[in-house]
C-alpha cells in the first residue's frame, strides 16, 4: 500500500547513494536514455516514491511553504494546474483539511486542471480551464468564499523554442495573477511558477502594486539546469 504523505519536509533523512546507470538500448534515443538516467537518479523522484507523493513537484511547494508559511491550518487554498496532485498532498495536512489536528482551524483546498485527477482525501478537484469565462466565480463558490492562497504550478505545453516557451508561461502566469486578484482575500498569498528569460519584469511590476512583498525563489528541489523559479507574493492589498 502507498505511504500516506505527511506534508513534512524530511530532507536529508536516510538517503543512500544508489546511482543507477542506464545503458543505451536499440530503438531508444540518446536523449531518452539521458532523461531516464536523470529520472532514476533524481533524489527527489526517489523521495516522492518513498514518501507517497504523486510527483517530485511536491517538494517545491513544501520548501516554499517552509520558508514563507502560507499553508497554515484553516487556510482556503486554490491550486491552479493541480494534476497529478503533489502540491495538494502537501497542502492537505498543512491546512488541516481533514481536521486531524484537533483544536486547529480546518482548511479547504480546491484544485483545478485541464486534466482529470485521481481523487485525494481532503482536496476537491475539478476539471476546468482557469481561463474559462466565470472560472473565478465558480472557484469561489466551490471554496465557499475568497481564498487565502492561490498557488499555480501551471506550465504551458512546450514548443521546444526557448523564447516562445518563456513568453507563453509568462502570459499564463500574468493571467493567473489577474485570476488571483479576483479570488484572493485581503492579506492573501499568490505563489506561481515563472521562467527566467527576460519578460518577467512586467509581472514583477504588477505584483509589487498589488502585494506588500514579492520574492523570487529557486527552491532546492527545482532542477539547477531549469530556468524555472517561483514568485511568492504576500500581503494582497485587495
Ligand atoms: C507541472 S503540472 C502541475 C503539477 C502539480 N503542481 C503537482 O504537484 O502535481 C502543470 C499542470 O498545469 C495544468 N494546466 C496548464 N494550463 C492550464 C489551464 N489553462 N487551466 C488549468 N490547468 C492548466 C496542466 O494540465 C498540468 O497538469
Grid look-up 463558490 returns: 141
Grid look-up 514568485 returns: 231
> Which residue among 48, 155, 179, 183 has the greatest number of ligand 1 atoms within 8 angstroms of its CB, and so is best to mutate?
155
Cell of 77: 487554498
DSSP label at residue 153 = -
Does the domain made of 55-236 have the CATH classification 3.90.550.10? no
Options 60, 146, 193, 210, the catalytic residue: 193
Q: Please write the tens of the pLDDT for every residue from 19-57.
A: 656 666 677 676 666 666 666 678 999 999 999 999 999
State yes or no: is 3 an active-site residue: no
83: Cβ below 6 Å to ligand 1? yes
> Which residue among 64, 83, 84, 226 has the greatest number of ligand 1 atoms within 8 angstroms of its CB, and so is best to mutate?
83
Q: Write the CB contacts of 84 (distance below 8 Å, at least 6 apart in sequence).
A: 54, 55, 117, 118
**pLDDT score at 32:** 66
Sheet with 147-152: strands ordered across: 123-127, 108-113, 76-80, 147-152, 184-195, 228-236, 211-217
Q: Please write the tens of the pLDDT for every residue from 63-119.
A: 999 999 999 999 999 999 999 999 999 999 999 999 999 999 999 999 999 999 999
57: Cβ below 6 Å to ligand 1? yes
**pLDDT score at 22:** 63
Q: Please write the tens of the pLDDT for every residue from 196-231.
A: 776 678 899 999 999 999 999 999 999 988 889 999
* Confidence tier at 15 by pLDDT (50, 70, 90): very low
Locate the ligand 1 atom nearest the alpha carbon of residue 129 and give its number: 20
Show me where the domains of the chain are located.
Answer: 21-52, 55-236
Distance 6 CA to ligand 1 centre (A): 22
- Average per-residue pLDDT for the chain: 90
Long-range CB contacts (within 8 A, 24+) of 201-207: 202/170, 202/174, 203/170, 203/173, 203/174, 203/177, 203/231, 204/231, 206/174, 206/177, 207/177, 207/231, 207/233
131: Cβ below 6 Å to ligand 1? yes
Cβ atoms of residues 79 and 58 within 8 Å:
no
Amino acid at each position: 500500500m502507498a505511504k500516506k504523505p505527511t506534508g513534512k519536509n524530511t530532507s536529508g533523512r536516510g538517503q543512500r547513494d544508489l546511482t543507477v546507470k542506464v545503458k543505451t538500448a536499440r530503438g531508444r534515443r540518446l536523449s531518452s536514455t539521458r532523461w531516464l538516467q536523470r529520472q532514476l537518479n533524481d533524489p527527489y523522484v526517489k523521495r516522492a516514491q518513498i514518501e507517497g507523493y504523486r510527483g517530485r513537484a511536491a517538494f517545491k511547494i513544501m520548501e516554499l511553504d517552509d520558508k514563507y508559511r502560507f499553508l497554515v491550518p484553516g487556510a482556503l487554498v486554490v491550486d491552479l494546474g493541480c494534476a497529478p496532485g503533489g502540491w495538494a498532498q502537501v497542502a492537505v495536512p498543512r491546512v488541516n483539511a481533514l481536521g486531524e489536528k484537533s483544536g486547529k482551524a480546518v482548511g479547504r483546498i480546491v484544485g483545478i486542471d485541464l486534466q482529470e485527477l485521481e481523487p485525494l482525501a481532503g482536496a476537491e478537484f475539478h476539471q476546468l480551464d482557469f481561463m474559462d469565462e466565470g472560472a473565478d466565480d465558480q472557484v469561489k463558490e466551490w471554496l465557499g468564499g475568497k481564498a487565502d492562497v492561490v498557488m499555480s504550478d501551471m506550465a504551458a505545453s512546450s514548443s521546444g523554442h526557448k523564447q516562445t516557451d518563456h513568453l507563453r508561461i509568462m502570459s499564463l502566469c500574468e493571467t493567473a495573477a489577474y485570476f488571483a486578484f479576483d479570488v484572493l482575500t485581503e492579506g492573501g498569498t499568490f505563489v506561481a511558477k515563472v521562467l527566467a528569460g527576460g519578460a518577467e519584469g512586467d509581472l514583477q511590476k504588477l505584483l509589487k502594486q498589488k502585494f506588500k512583498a514579492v520574492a523570487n525563489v529557486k527552491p532546492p528541489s527545482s532542477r539547477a539546469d531549469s530556468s524555472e523559479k517561483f514568485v511568492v507574493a504576500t500581503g494582497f492589498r485587495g
